[in-house]
Structure 1
Amino acid sequence: MSTTRQHQPGDRGPEPDGAPAAASRVLALYGASGIVPLARDFTRQALHEWGWLPAATADRRAAAEDVLLVVSELVTNACLHAEGPEQLRVACTSKVLRLEVTDRGSGQPAPRTPHRAGRPGGHGMFIVQRLCLDWGVVRTPGVPGKTVWAELAAPA
């Protein structure tokens, strides 16, 4: 988990090279049914709008599949361990795609240690850690819940 950078939910500052701020999409999930497929479909649509899909190369296809897997893991974790997700935010710059899942839970997500590949369940945050450039948790003082964020590299 990141200890070097503090990212607030919804950070939308300009990119270092002066390019415009991130394009973003937000999906309300509170009370929805079929939340994981809904989140994946929403993210897939954003990837189409931003030109990640349809993928022209195997590397671009793999990058899009990684994003969809991380979305699934973050939303599933909120369903299983945090009273359900309230919102999914997907934002993209030319270099990074950022996923944010806001939930009402008080727990602290962490990869299971030691990781046991053959053991069923408990792989979600290990997968997030392996696929992402960085990830972390942001809490707002005095407000219940948290936002779990993850960043993946945009395809070249």
Structure 2
Amino acid sequence: MARARRNSFLRDFQEFALKGNVVDLAVGVIIGAAFGKIVSSLVDNVIMPLINPVLAAFGNDWRNWAIGATEIKDGIPQNGIRIGLFLGSIVDFLIVALVLFIAIQAIQKLKRKEEVEAAAEPTPPDPAIVAQERLTAAIEQLDLTMRSRQV
């Protein structure tokens, strides 16, 4: 009895784990994590060096802002509430959201273009309808021929 339950559990788990949606989700999470690293690098190494001089007017690097920091090591607060890191995460999120928005818009535009192209192509007629139209035309021709011979 316990063996049957175990086999049933393993079979159910295998069906769940190997479904296409679960595998697709796992791939999406892995790609998303890699994409997050790329975006973080873009923010840290490209965007922020352009923005930091503007923010330098308020003091040191904005990602090092902290409330209640009592210990600072190499210019970085080691304790307290690190507001700068939180703001950096918000900037990262906004950039990821913007990039995803642009990508989704591009994909939707391509889908709409495909739909318009598909709608523009005439659909082939149903063979049964074509055969019915030919049969109707033949019957009408036969009817005309028979009427002309009766006169």
Structure with bigger RCO (C-alpha 8 Å, 6+ apart)? 1
In which range does the TM-score fall when normalised by the shorter chain? under 0.3
TM-score under structure 1 length normalisation: 0.22
TM-score under structure 2 length normalisation: 0.23
Higher helix share: 2
